[in-house]
Chains A and B, each alone.
Chain A
């Protein structure tokens, strides 16, 4: 099962089949999520209408962590088993994860101003998210820093794995330190502490963000596979020209 998709050619055939389904699902989920979040759900009794920012802020933050975890696992698989697709998946995930982290920071800032009275505070949750953003940027920069793509992916994979220590720090930062940020209210012991009218648009948007990630991931992996073929052909033509 694991090795079936290790072959890039087989992956491309698989991607061609599922991509239209993921695309349709993403559009549908965003339509339902936006309808529920902006029109069908009530305002929060304390936060008023600002609670609607949660439907984009929380999924962005979830995906920022999800993408980093996926990227770190892919980097580990690429380093240990030299799995050809794992390396491409990590490389394709990094810009998407960085975008989600950026969105979590910006939407959080827009939510923080009316609720906390500040665009930014240097507390544990916000600072560790900013560190995550720089880890993504560092991974991408290191990946492109070498003439030999193999060395670039090896060095950046090690950075991604070392940086993974930040993921549990982000998750538990609201429990370990005093912070303005509220603690976990969906993924916690004893079940979610949010009313269904607000939880359902949040979950739909969460799934929409996930399928969006898979959609863009397929496109970006196809791009990497194609670019590798171009590179291989160019090298073959160059070596033929020298003879």
Chain B
């Protein structure tokens, strides 16, 4: 438990180190989630326009 406390404290710099890791985690996970959500909604839009072509990755003929 004491070592966990020391890990959290980061030699007195915990309130600089952890926010740095926190902002990286929030931005990278957020960007990934937004990118995926945006892909899914574009795919849903395509499926609604052309149901037969939803799974078709070739250019429309």
Contacts and interface: CB of A to CB of B under 8 A. Distances in A.
Given A49-B11, A50-B13, A56-B21, A216 B60 contact: no
Q: Chain A contact residues: over half helix, strand or loop, or mixed?
A: helix
Nearest to B41: A223
A99 B28 contact: yes
A216 B21 contact: no
Interface residues of B, number: 32
A107 to B, nearest CB: 4
Contacts, number: 99
A141 interface: no
B11 A106 contact: no
Interface stretch (A152-160, A169-177, A226-234): A226-234
Interface residues of A, number: 43
Nearest to B56: A9
Nearest to B14: A49
A230 B45 contact: yes
Interface of B: 7, 10-14, 16-17, 19-21, 23-24, 27-28, 31-32, 35-36, 38-39, 42-43, 45-46, 49-50, 53, 57-60
A53 to B, nearest CB: 5
Contacts of A219: 32, 35-36, 39
Contacts of B14: 49
Given A233-B50, A234-B49, 8 more contacts: A9-B57, A9-B59, A38-B7, A52-B10, A107-B20, A110-B23, A111-B16, A237-B49
